[in-house]
Amino acid sequence: MSKILVIGSSNTDLITKVKRFPLAGETITGQLYTQAMGGKGANQALAARRSGGDVSFVTCLGSDANGRSALQYYAQEGLDISRALQVDHAPTGTAVILVNEEGENIIVLNPGANHQLHPADVSRLSETIRDASIVMLQMEIPLETVIRICELANEHNVPVMLNVAPAREISESLVSRISYIVVNETEIESITKLSLDKHAEDEVIDHLLSMGAKTVILTLGSRGCIVKSSTFRHEIHAFQVETVDTTAAGDTFCGALVAQLSKGETLENAIRFATAAAAICVTRLGAQPSIPFENEVKEFLQAESNGMPALKRKSGSRSIF
């Protein structure tokens, strides 16, 4: 099987479930507290692994208890972490996450060691990048590091999937280096500077394609996603499920997608699989504890296509099949 290289963040997520988000100056009581592994890079690496990918994960952690337990956990989960870094001068990243009763979240990131992954560190990974079948990136490590990885991947003709999350502006020259660009609505608006209130989704996607992106995947939360290139357009509806927590829906989608592509699946089939994996994720609390395994996703898809959904549907919803 071909090797997926994920380079990105790793966080300890401090998650509190609340009835509603607090107002400025207000103190509220949480309903439930839990701590779990997270970070967009780690979530995507794990999602790719649980979807059957052969995954190497490069990340930068602190030399602290959180960093040590993260590495131990990733190794147990079957990620190749032989090129992960640990630094003494910054703590492992953390994310403070509130989840409300609708399953929506508010996240405050403390990047810590994630911001210590520098271009010089990845320049040393040229051979690892060359030997990968695809490189997967997000935006929780420094932008200049993301750019350097893309340069190296381009030199070796290795495709890059970039999930531009969290949202930020990126240059046309970076966009043109990407094979698959995965964005949600906020993210595509930040890059194209076009508002989806004023422009149709296809118009905004076409603008991103005109900036040099080869394939754009615009995720639309509970509505699904649109996949578009110069020769292909496909729209996939999300599965209707009871939403507990949407944290890591996008990460699960990206990781499952890259794993299926690395196994030689068509883009259309890989997107359908990723959509199912993300639907299962939103029915559970937390980031990494919510990421499903390949067999769960296959069973979910089988049950859906038999008209016998495996998971409880959102009240009042119908099957889309």
Residues annotated as part of the active site: 251
DSSP SS3 for 119: helix
| 46 contact choice in ligand ATP, ligand RIB, none (CB below 5 to 8 Å, kind-dependent) | none
- Report d(CA 270, CA 253) in Å as an integer: 10
Decide if 168 contacts 190 (C-beta within 8 A): yes
Does the protein bind ligand ATP through residue 279 (CB under 6 A)? yes
How is 232-254 classified by DSSP, letter by letter?
-EEEEPPP----S--TTHHHHHH
- Report d(CA 291, CA 4) in Å as an integer: 18
Q: Which residue has the tokens 């508002």?
A: 195
| 180 contact choice in ligand RIB, ligand ATP, none (CB below 5 to 8 Å, kind-dependent) | none
For 262, counting Cβ atoms within 10 Å of its Cβ (0-12 exposed, 13-18 middle, 19+ buried), the class is buried
Least Å from the CB of residue 121 to ligand ATP:
26
Does the protein bind ligand RIB through residue 287 (CB under 6 A)? yes
Integer-rounded Cα radius of gyration of the chain: 19
User: Quick one: 152 or 188, whose CB is closer to ligand ATP?
Assistant: 188
244: nearest Cα among 105, 102, 46, 74 = 102
Binding mask 232-271 for ligand RIB (x = CB under 6 A): ---------------xx--x--------------------
| 11 contact choice in ligand RIB, ligand ATP, none (CB below 5 to 8 Å, kind-dependent) | ligand RIB
| 238 contact choice in ligand RIB, ligand ATP, none (CB below 5 to 8 Å, kind-dependent) | ligand ATP
Does the protein bind ligand RIB through residue 111 (CB under 6 A)? no
Bond prior to 309 in cis (omega within 30° of 0): no
Does the protein bind ligand ATP through residue 241 (CB under 6 A)? yes
> Which listed residue (8, 17, 38, 51) binds ligand RIB by CB under 6 A?
38
User: Quick one: 119 or 166, whose CB is closer to ligand RIB?
Assistant: 166
Q: Using alpha carbons, list the distances in angstroms from residue 132 to 57, 58, 89, 152, 278.
A: 11, 12, 30, 11, 25
Angle at 135 between CA 134 and CA 138, to 5 degrees: 140
Does the protein bind ligand ATP through residue 273 (CB under 6 A)? no
- Report d(CA 142, CA 144) in Å as an integer: 5
115: nearest Cα among 131, 94, 97, 136 = 94
Least Å from the CB of residue 68 to ligand ATP:
26
User: Quick one: 60 or 225, whose CB is closer to ligand ATP?
Assistant: 225
Q: Which residue has the tokens 């030997």?
A: 131
Does the protein bind ligand ATP through residue 251 (CB under 6 A)? yes
Backbone angles phi, psi at 173, to 5 degrees: -65, -35
User: Quick one: 152 or 274, whose CB is closer to ligand ATP?
Assistant: 274
> Which listed residue (57, 74, 180, 253) binds ligand ATP by CB under 6 A?
253
User: Quick one: 149 or 249, whose CB is closer to ligand ATP?
Assistant: 249
Least Å from the CB of residue 259 to ligand RIB:
17
Does the protein bind ligand RIB through residue 107 (CB under 6 A)? yes
Q: Enumerate binding residues for ligand ATP (CB under 6 A).
A: 165, 184, 219-222, 224-225, 238-239, 241, 243, 246-251, 253, 275, 278-279, 282
Q: Enumerate binding residues for ligand RIB (CB under 6 A).
A: 11, 13, 38-40, 43, 95, 107, 109, 140, 247-248, 251, 287
